[in-house]
Amino acid sequence: MQNSNPTGVMIVSKSLMVYGRMMRRWSAMAVLCGISLAPLGCSKFKAKPEGKYIYVTAKTGFLRDRVAAVSNRTGNVVNGQRLKVLDTRPRWYKVQTDAGEIGWIDEHAVATQQVADEFDALQKQLEKTEPVATGTVRDDVYLHDKPGRETDRFYRLDEGDKLKLFQRASTLKPLPPGTTAPTTDPKTGAPITPPMEDWWLVRDDKGHTGWMLGRMMDVDVPDSIARYAEGQRIVAAYVLTKVQDPEIEGASKDVPIYVTAMSPYKSGLPYDFDQLRVFTWNLKKHRYETAQRDRNIAGYLPIRIHTDPGSPSPGRGIPATGPAPAYTYTVLADGQQLPQADANGIFKPGKLVEKTYRLEGNVTRRVLAPGAMAPAEFRLVQEEKKSKRSRKR
């Protein structure tokens, strides 16, 4: 039988072929978008983040209902608050608070889970570590996960917050843009040490732990002994014991005896202190006086306060000694070099000498094993030996 309308058949066939090609193209585009272009932002095929959290680093902030120049607030957030991620856009997170508030927040106002984990690791690291000193925040400041201004930051401390200090580090001080630090003295040609700044690993009363810029805090130093610093910085002060003075003013008649560590007002030093000084109380003159001063040393914190049990009589008319307040500190041993800071700015000294003293009344005495000689120590400035002629004079 002869086809009476071959033109119509050809038109239908061509339409089916075109439709088939279009369907194949759409399928290919869908697969391409779903697999290859998903990271580039194909919203219909983008996987939603599951169980992902971020944390607020800004002091305070708010959530907005849309990413636009004009938006409405949907909730308020504070530093350290955890937020669940619902969606992402370039530079923005759509989040939900524990209270159910939903909105968008700028990525510069938050930290990732990885950063939060690093701070948790620092906190666990110091759980059983005793602080070397205490201090107070001078002005609002951030805690960092490592020493340095370009490291990740998280918790924000307020002025007046109390701190416990654990370790010191030093890093290069950033210079203003477009400037370089000179490496040699133009007059003498001697090398110049680049400017440094100190950082301290601290923990606040809430348990927040991290590194903070040293100049943004003040070490707790009693006013009664601060005036005796003689131009040095007191980096730590420990109460050795207390004595009773009934003639002083105030309800409490207890007067603390202090062991202090001092250093120059300079950052980047390869030691924690270069002078140890003990202040005892004169009951007749009602004032502090120096019982011991150990200078020209390279000392390292902490200073341990304890009780010396004393020792039995060695004979020859020498009486036994009973328990007494004591303190122990470490200094660099003779023959060692001052340490260099590692990649994290931490100074790790070599061989150290441990020195223990006990307080007997207002006098300090070195504690050594019977017949032992005191080990030689490193001196920051080598002392010149006196000649025989000068000794005779």
pLDDT of residue 10: 44
- Does residue 376 share a domain with residue 247? yes
100-137 pLDDT, tens digit per residue, is 999 999 999 999 999 999 999 999 999 999 999 999 99
Segment 13-21 shows an average pLDDT of 49
- Does residue 307 share a domain with residue 363? yes
Residue 182 maps to a domain? no
Which residue range is the domain that position 352 belongs to?
222-384
pLDDT of residue 84: 97
Last residue in a domain, options 71, 86, 111: 111
Phi, then psi, of 382 in degrees rounded to 5:
-65, 130
Mean pLDDT of the chain: 86
Q: Residue 110 forms beta bridges with which residues?
A: 56
Residue 29 maps to a domain? no
pLDDT of residue 14: 47
Residue 184 maps to a domain? no
Residue 10 maps to a domain? no
345-369 pLDDT, tens digit per residue, is 999 999 999 999 999 999 999 999 8
Residue 32 maps to a domain? no
- Does residue 97 share a domain with residue 154? no
pLDDT of residue 257: 97
Q: How many domains does the chain have?
A: 3
Tell me the whole-structure pTM to 2 decimals: 0.80
pLDDT of residue 387: 46
- Does residue 166 share a domain with residue 238? no
- Does residue 195 share a domain with residue 95? no
**Residues 139/217, Cβ–Cβ less than 8 Å:** no
- Does residue 197 share a domain with residue 234? no
- Does residue 75 share a domain with residue 64? yes
Residue 43 has pLDDT above 80, yes or no: no
CATH number, residue 202: 2.30.30.40
Q: For the CA atoms of the chain, what is the radius of gyration?
A: 34
Distance CA 131, CA 304 (A): 11
211-245 pLDDT, tens digit per residue, is 999 999 999 999 999 999 999 999 999 999 999 99
- Does residue 292 share a domain with residue 214? no
pLDDT of residue 317: 65
Higher pLDDT, 194 or 111: 111
Residue 378 maps to a domain? yes
Query: pLDDT band at 25, cuts 50/70/90?
Result: low
Distance CA 51, CA 237 (A): 47
Last residue in a domain, options 111, 141, 156: 111
275-320 pLDDT, tens digit per residue, is 999 999 999 999 999 999 999 999 999 999 999 998 877 666 667 7
- Does residue 375 share a domain with residue 234? yes
Residue 373 maps to a domain? yes
- Does residue 158 share a domain with residue 84? no
Residue 131 maps to a domain? yes
- Does residue 215 share a domain with residue 68? no
**Residues 279/329, Cβ–Cβ less than 8 Å:** no
Higher pLDDT, 15 or 99: 99
pLDDT of residue 20: 53
- Does residue 319 share a domain with residue 271? yes
Query: pLDDT band at 178, cuts 50/70/90?
Result: confident
Residue 334 has pLDDT above 90, yes or no: yes
